[in-house]
Structure 1
Amino acid sequence: MVVDDHPIWREGVARDLAEREVDVVATAPDGAAAVRIAKAVRPDVVLMDLQLPELSGAQATEQIRTALPDTRVLVLSASTEHGDVIEAVRAGASGYLVKSAGMDELVDAVTRTAAGQAVFSPGLAGLVLGEYRRRETEAPDAPQLTPRETEVLRLVAKGLTARAIATRLTLSHRTVENHVQNSLRKLQLTNRVELTRYAIERGLDADE
């Protein structure tokens, strides 16, 4: 589903996605309509603008994610403002893409979001990471991951697949998956998107 308050942009993106065999099930012109329509059509991915009438994109994202936990939200915005990116992630967005992205990049981002990956335009994940480093410190009772689990989590945050991580660390695919599952259990998270968001919030995808 494509959500944007500019009709030409909204319909153009929907048309271009459809031409590339992405099934566009609906469009919406504002945040309130996005929430209402999403509940009716239950899309796999909502492509969400942030600057919307009625409800902001972040507010709409939060309401959609609450009502439809299996629906993922990919923000597509002209803004690269620090606060906008952080607000979107806090609201439950799986990723954030700027509108200067090309159509091939957008199609790839939608596909990856549908597959459960966290997708950010280059540099934006770093904004989120830097902010959380500045504002947050680990709670004393935070779950403790082993050095290897942290190493795997760092690569998950960079967007690597389990097989790519296995190759990078010279481990078996099963061992990497075990580390991911152990991390999920310790952190009381349910999937890789939540795990990636956790890692991004704590700066684990930054280059060492």
Structure 2
Amino acid sequence: MSGRIRIVIADDQAIIRDGLETVLGLVPDFEVVGTAADGAEAVALIAAQHPDVALMDLRMPMLDGAAATRRVTAETPGTAVLVLTTFADDADIVAALRAGARGYLTKDAGRVELAAAIRAVAAGQSTFSEPVRDVLLGRIGAPAAAADPDPASPEALAVRFPALTGREREVLGLIIQGRSNGEIADALFVGVSTVKTHINALFAKLGVRDRAQAIARGLGTGP
């Protein structure tokens, strides 16, 4: 990817669309190429413009954000979807991850955080705001009932993903916790290049293309 990051904004509130367009238009390496007021309009606009990043609200008419994300992921795979919404509960996060969103921010994110997230997903990375990471960590850290064991525990990962090596399962568990490659390397006392090798291997074995999909699979919510 070179040059400006081309962005489409999808939100049913005009004041949000206009505000985001104004703020992002001030960033030298960003270019807003269109805005949409509902999910169906967003899918059509993204198919026409092929932006690098789509900022996607979840609660929209005609087609909700998760359904629109699923369409975009299937029909315009070169566009990374970054969810930007008011909501950060389990159901919304899981729906977005299952649909193929590469990042998830709440609307209280500041301009610096938003810009960094856009650049991250445009570069093929996954990113989550702190409230979303807290939900994910709470989901995997909450005490589990005997009939509903933690799907991301080492024991559960070993049963569900026997093709992964022990170290790959450790890496997957740390990815689910929202750790960066550097943080994973520090936790496992290995180099970042070694972490990248393990990540590439586990992605191939799980049939996922990025961290967001790996998290969804690890939590038992992905395909």
Q: TM-score, length-normalised on structure 1?
A: 0.82
Kept in 2, the 8 Å contact 1:116–1:193? The answer is no
Superposed, 1:67-78 pairs within 5 Å as 67-78=75-86
Superposed, 1:1-12 pairs within 5 Å as 1-12=8-19
Give the partner amino acid of 1:103.
R
Shift of 1:141: 5.9
Shift of 1:124: 1.9
- 2:104 is matched with 96
Which segments of 5 or more consecutive residues in structure 2 lack a partner in the other structure?
Answer: 1-7
Kept in 2, the 8 Å contact 1:78–1:98? The answer is yes
Q: How far apart, CA to CA, are the structure 2 residues paired with 1:135 and 1:18?
A: 47
Q: How far apart, CA to CA, are the structure 2 residues paired with 1:167 and 1:6?
A: 43
Which segments of 5 or more consecutive residues in structure 1 lack a partner in the other structure?
Answer: 204-208
Superposed, 1:1-208 pairs within 5 Å as 1-21=8-28, 22-128=30-136, 130=139, 137=151, 142-199=161-218, 201=219
Can you list the C-alpha shifts for 1:125-181, whole angstroms capped at 9, x where unaligned?
A: 343462897588559563342232222223334444445533443323432222122
Kept in 2, the 8 Å contact 1:184–1:190? The answer is yes
Q: Secondary structure, in 3 states, of the residue corresponding to 2:130? A: coil
Kept in 1, the 8 Å contact 2:94–2:216? The answer is no
Q: How many residue pairs were aligned? A: 202
Shift of 1:29: 1.1
Give the partner amino acid of 1:75.
V
- 2:5 is matched with none
Q: Residues 20, 127 of structure 1: CA spacing in aligned structure 2 closer, same or farther, 3 A cutoff?
A: same
Can you list the C-alpha shifts for 1:68-99, whole angstroms capped at 9, x where unaligned?
A: 12211111111233322222222221122111
Kept in 2, the 8 Å contact 1:118–1:197? The answer is no
Q: How far apart, CA to CA, are the structure 2 residues paired with 1:11 and 1:164?
A: 37
Q: Secondary structure, in 3 states, of the residue corresponding to 1:23? A: strand
Q: TM-score, length-normalised on structure 2?
A: 0.77
Kept in 2, the 8 Å contact 1:152–1:179? The answer is yes
Give the partner amino acid of 1:18.
G
Q: Residues 29, 64 of structure 1: CA spacing in aligned structure 2 closer, same or farther, 3 A cutoff?
A: same
Q: Secondary structure, in 3 states, of the residue corresponding to 2:33? A: coil
